[in-house]
Amino acid sequence: MRVDVVTIFPDYLAALDLSLVGKARRAGLLDLRVHDLRDWTADRHRTVDDTPFGGGAGMVMRPDVWGRALDDVLPEPGADVTGHLVVPTPAGEVFTQRHAEALAREEHVVLACGRYEGIDARVVEHARSAGHRVSELSIGDYVLNGGEVAALVMIEAFGRLLPGVVGNPHSLVEESHGAAGLLEYPVYTKPPSWEGLEVPEVLLSGHHARIDRWRRDRALARTAARRPDMLRVLEVDSLDAADLAVLAELGWVVDDGRLRTVAE
User: Nearest distance from residue 194's CB to ligand ADE, in Å?
Assistant: 37
- Quote the distance between the C-alpha of residue 184 and its chain's center: 17
- What is the size of the binding site for ligand ADE (CB under 6 A)? 12
Helix or strand or coil: residue 96?
coil
Q: For residue 2, list its beta bridge partners.
A: 31, 108
User: Nearest distance from residue 90's CB to ligand ADE, in Å?
Assistant: 4
Instruction: Kindly tell me which residue out of 10, 52, 75, 90 binds ligand ADE, with binding defined by CB under 6 A.
Output: 90
Instruction: Kindly tell me which residue out of 131, 140, 186, 251 binds ligand ADE, with binding defined by CB under 6 A.
Output: 140
Stretch that binds ligand ADE, among 60-68, 85-93, 178-186, 250-258 (CB under 6 A): 85-93
User: Nearest distance from residue 1's CB to ligand ADE, in Å?
Assistant: 21
| Residue 181 within binding range of ligand ADE, rule CB under 6 A | no
| Residue 234 within binding range of ligand ADE, rule CB under 6 A | no
Burial of 233 (0-12, 13-18, 19+ CB in 10 A): exposed
Q: Which C-beta is closer to ligand ADE: that of 75 or that of 90?
A: 90
Long-range contacts for 27-31 (Cβ within 8 Å, ≥24 apart)?
27/164, 29/1, 29/162, 29/163, 29/164, 29/165, 30/1, 30/3, 30/159, 30/162, 30/165, 31/1, 31/2, 31/3
Instruction: Kindly tell me which residue out of 144, 166, 221, 230 binds ligand ADE, with binding defined by CB under 6 A.
Output: 144
Stretch that binds ligand ADE, among 11-19, 21-29, 134-142, 201-209 (CB under 6 A): 134-142
CA-to-CA distance for 243 and 54, rounded, in angstroms? Answer: 56
Give which of 4, 19, 41, 8 is closest to 160, Cα–Cα: 19
Instruction: Kindly tell me which residue out of 18, 57, 143, 233 binds ligand ADE, with binding defined by CB under 6 A.
Output: 143
Helix or strand or coil: residue 159?
helix
| Residue 150 within binding range of ligand ADE, rule CB under 6 A | yes
- Quote the distance between the C-alpha of residue 138 and its chain's center: 9
| Residue 83 within binding range of ligand ADE, rule CB under 6 A | no
Helix or strand or coil: residue 102?
helix
Q: State the residues that interact with ligand ADE by CB under 6 A.
A: 88-90, 138-140, 142-144, 146-147, 150
